[in-house]
Chains A and B, each alone.
Chain A
Amino acid sequence: MQFGVFTVGDVTVDPTTGREPTERERIKAMVAIALKAEEVGLDVFATGEHHNPPFVPSSPTTMLGYIAARTERLLLSTATTLITTNDPVKIAEDYAMLQHLADGRVDLMMGRGNTGPVYPWFGQDIRNGIPLAIENYDLLRRLWREDVVDWKGRFRTPLQSFTSTPRPLDGVPPFVWHGSIRSPEIAEQAAYYGDGFFANHIFWPKEHTQRMVGLYRQRFAHYGHGTPEQAIVGLGGQVFMRKNSQDAMREFRPYFDNAPVYGHGPSLEDFSRETPLTVGSPQQVIDRTLGFREYVGDYQRQLFLLDHAGLPLKTVLEQLDILGEEVVPVLRREFDSLRRAQVPEAPTHAALVAARDAAAAGTGAPR
């Protein structure tokens, strides 16, 4: 099982000091978080993509390419790549390039993005959100899998004899996850292609996740990719930890109360009960996280959100230390002992290359 962190990349005032980081500080903090994630033994760093303030990560492959050069092992991903407003041709090119530079340590999570005004800045319309996600992704897959593409669709100019360069590393495209909170069409899309499905699983009740993952698993089997249990599932999660749970609550509360997404609404206690947010001791985080498996089944990737709502970098790095030293080693052991035999690991580049080669050898097809 893979463990990691995902970041929204928000620039938010620290409510306890009134200080707002500069964009430069925030961008450098995101990099520091990624490097720390590798140092403490996590597997994945995923960055959001946004094109409006107060968010900084508008150029994910620039950031991930820089992190790739400074890490050895860390898998670089997105949460999410905007499949609606990005040109699929540019996604194909950018992430194939990143794949080469990072020696295959790359996958992506597709998402639609969520605010209406962003779409027209990129020539699109939020009312076409689902059709854009469907058409653009179908083209993206072809660009990675077919050397020469002739294509005509609804949302972008046609392509004649187009070759997206560089070609994917070893001829194997990056693995793709599809993220959605509550659109069954996206679970269906992930299932159709046999791609991964990632449930946001922060800010929302667990029932959303349970229903979406259940649907995805059922449709994954329907489309012949394996049993429902073999579908590739990732979950988000939001935690804040201190040795004593009372200290965690006290320290996190001002950040919670003023947070951009849920601030000035429900109490920390209510929100912790109604969503997967866990503020407490490392043991409480272990227990809660192991409980996720009870309503989604065995899953392959767990990403934690640690750095939003104005939490200072120093605090976030402390959280990563706790995660790496006390929480993830236990979760790895426990999840491994619980996992049923037929459930696969999340695909890596090496595994996808091996699977491709095995399939080619099995059928005698030329490489």
Chain B
Amino acid sequence: MTRRTLAVVSAGLSQPSSTRLLADQLAAATRDELVRRGAEVRLDVVELREHAHDVVNHLLTGFPSASLRTALDAVAGADGVIAVTPIFSASYSGLFKSFFDVLDSGALAGTPVLVGATGGTARHSLALEHAVRPLFGYLRAVVVPTGVYAAGADWSGDTADGALRDRILHAGAELAEQVDRRPASVGPADPFALTTDFAQLLGGGREE
């Protein structure tokens, strides 16, 4: 049985938070589909609120605290990532962006990512497509076609089987498929690994 790891990043600030609720439902949908495909799945949830001060400290000092390092490694080493942010002022929240700013460059290259967002009303829904999706495009992640936006009204339906539910299941299946078709992640890259040797370094700087 293949072992798979999903990192679930939630930038919700209140507790309980609808952002976390959406992240959990997306994670469950993805996990269920991967299990159906025969994988064993571990979920690593990263609540950014718990790392807020450490994220800012990393921006200032250039290195992460031990607990933030664990969170960054979980994301960099995951087979798939679910990233959910509240929409603030027409875009992702500053905390959400700052977390991905301090992630090592290249950490998400080729990693399947499912993006989600929450907001008070449906008027903000396209921020997911115009702000969140390009961010992960820049990070060279493989963003699945379906992004999931949930407004306040989506949580107040009489049943749990509305349009949002369908969209969550659809997106989760897309992420599961992307994860399933790739070899298992070998973990985060080692920044201290020597990838060259001196003959190559010296040769590179010399005109023959």
Interface residues of A (CB under 8 A from B): 130-132, 134-135, 138, 152-155, 182, 184-185, 187-189, 191-192, 203-205, 208, 211-212, 215, 219, 223, 261-266, 270-271, 274
Nearest residue (CB) in A for B191 is A182
A154 touching B205, Cβ below 8 Å: yes
B61 touching A262, Cβ below 8 Å: yes
Taken together as a complex, chains A and B put the C-alpha atoms of A350 and B196 apart, in Å, by 35
B192 touching A153, Cβ below 8 Å: no
Taken together as a complex, chains A and B put the C-alpha atoms of A271 and B61 apart, in Å, by 10
From known contacts A134-B201, A215-B192, A219-B194, infer whether A154 and B61 are also in contact, taking CB-CB under 8 Å.
no
Chain A contact residues: over half helix, strand or loop, or mixed? helix
Q: State whether the Cβ of B39 lies closer than 8 Å to any Cβ in chain A.
A: no
Our pick among B62, B66, B201, B204 for the contact of A188 (Cβ within 8 Å) is: B201
A-B contact count (CB 8 A): 73
Nearest residue (CB) in A for B54 is A266
A270 touching B65, Cβ below 8 Å: yes
Q: State whether the Cβ of B57 lies closer than 8 Å to any Cβ in chain A.
A: yes
Shortest CB-to-CB span from B19 to chain A, Å, is 26
Q: Which residues of A contact B207 (CB under 8 A)?
A: 152-154
Q: Which residues of A contact B205 (CB under 8 A)?
A: 131-132, 134-135, 138, 153-155
Q: Enumerate 7 A-B pairs (CB-CB under 8 Å) in ascending A order.
A: A152-B207, A188-B194, A189-B198, A192-B198, A262-B61, A265-B60, A266-B61
Q: Which residues of B contact A152 (CB under 8 A)?
A: 207
Taken together as a complex, chains A and B put the C-alpha atoms of A125 and B172 apart, in Å, by 46
Interface residues of B (CB under 8 A from A): 56-57, 60-63, 65-66, 191-198, 201-202, 204-207
Our pick among A189, A215, A266 for the contact of B201 (Cβ within 8 Å) is: A189
Shortest CB-to-CB span from A124 to chain B, Å, is 13
From known contacts A264-B60, A265-B56, infer whether A274 and B66 are also in contact, taking CB-CB under 8 Å.
yes
From known contacts A131-B204, A266-B57, A274-B66, infer whether A211 and B192 are also in contact, taking CB-CB under 8 Å.
yes
Shortest CB-to-CB span from A116 to chain B, Å, is 15
Our pick among B60, B63, B193, B198 for the contact of A204 (Cβ within 8 Å) is: B63
A185 touching B61, Cβ below 8 Å: no
Nearest residue (CB) in B for A153 is B206
Chain B contact residues: over half helix, strand or loop, or mixed? loop
Nearest residue (CB) in B for A181 is B62
B206 touching A154, Cβ below 8 Å: yes
Taken together as a complex, chains A and B put the C-alpha atoms of A212 and B194 apart, in Å, by 10
Nearest residue (CB) in B for A130 is B201
From known contacts A154-B207, A270-B65, infer whether A188 and B196 are also in contact, taking CB-CB under 8 Å.
yes
Which of B191, B194, B207 is most buried by chain A, counting CB atoms within 10 A of its CB? B194
Q: Which residues of B contact A264 (CB under 8 A)?
A: 60
From known contacts A203-B61, A262-B61, infer whether A185 and B204 are also in contact, taking CB-CB under 8 Å.
no
B192 touching A134, Cβ below 8 Å: no
Shortest CB-to-CB span from B176 to chain A, Å, is 35
A185 touching B196, Cβ below 8 Å: yes
Our pick among A185, A208, A271 for the contact of B194 (Cβ within 8 Å) is: A185
Taken together as a complex, chains A and B put the C-alpha atoms of A134 and B197 apart, in Å, by 12
Q: Which residues of A contact B62 (CB under 8 A)?
A: 203-204
Q: Which residues of A contact B65 (CB under 8 A)?
A: 266, 270, 274
Q: Which residues of B contact A262 (CB under 8 A)?
A: 60-61
Q: Which 6 A-B pairs have the closest CB atoms?
A: A265-B60, A135-B205, A211-B192, A192-B198, A131-B205, A184-B194
Shortest CB-to-CB span from A279 to chain B, Å, is 16
Taken together as a complex, chains A and B put the C-alpha atoms of A262 and B65 apart, in Å, by 13
Nearest residue (CB) in B for A212 is B192
Taken together as a complex, chains A and B put the C-alpha atoms of A94 and B118 apart, in Å, by 63
Shortest CB-to-CB span from A292 to chain B, Å, is 18
